[in-house]
Amino acid sequence: AGLHPRGGFAEGGPMLYSVRLVFVVLGHIWFVGTNARNYGDGNTKALHSFDVTVSNIVVKLQELEAPNTLLELYASWCPHCQRFAKHLKLVHEAIAPFPDEVGLLAIDCADKTSSPVCTNFKVAGYPTLYWGPPDTFVEVIQAGSKEARSAALKSLEKVSVARTAPAVLGFISP
């Protein structure tokens, strides 16, 4: 690779490599810096009442009055999850007046402490949504054996609708 006739380095030369490296480094900095959950309200650090952690998910599930719960398993670094976050907030606002009918919880699988919970739900992609009775979610989380966990997981419904507020609300109340 030599100098290009108009100045600079020819294609594939050291200058191009340096530019690519700068973009990779800047991209990494952006990627690492966007791990906050953005609910579309301008405050990326705000946690909503439906956000849970591994330390309180079982208690939150047991406190729910609703017969069914929607659980989102997401990764804060995931662009799909980031786009879905504002829709989930709208779902939360729509169902908040009806706590005895439907519950909503979300857990960040990118948090290393959440890994055991997310592994129990066999998350293959983000965001993943499950629907079912709160006590069944507790069974999946606390099951002592793979067989018990698999049996409990099979009784939950994996939600396969578009990741938009109208689609999720349509699933919840067809």
The pLDDT tens digits of the residues spanning 144-156 come to 899 999 999 999 9
Amino acid at 50: F
Instruction: Enter the pTM of the model.
Output: 0.74
The pLDDT tens digits of the residues spanning 106-119 come to 999 999 998 889 99
The pLDDT tens digits of the residues spanning 63-103 come to 999 999 999 999 999 999 999 999 999 999 999 999 999 99
Report the C-alpha gap between 147 and 11 in whole angstroms: 57
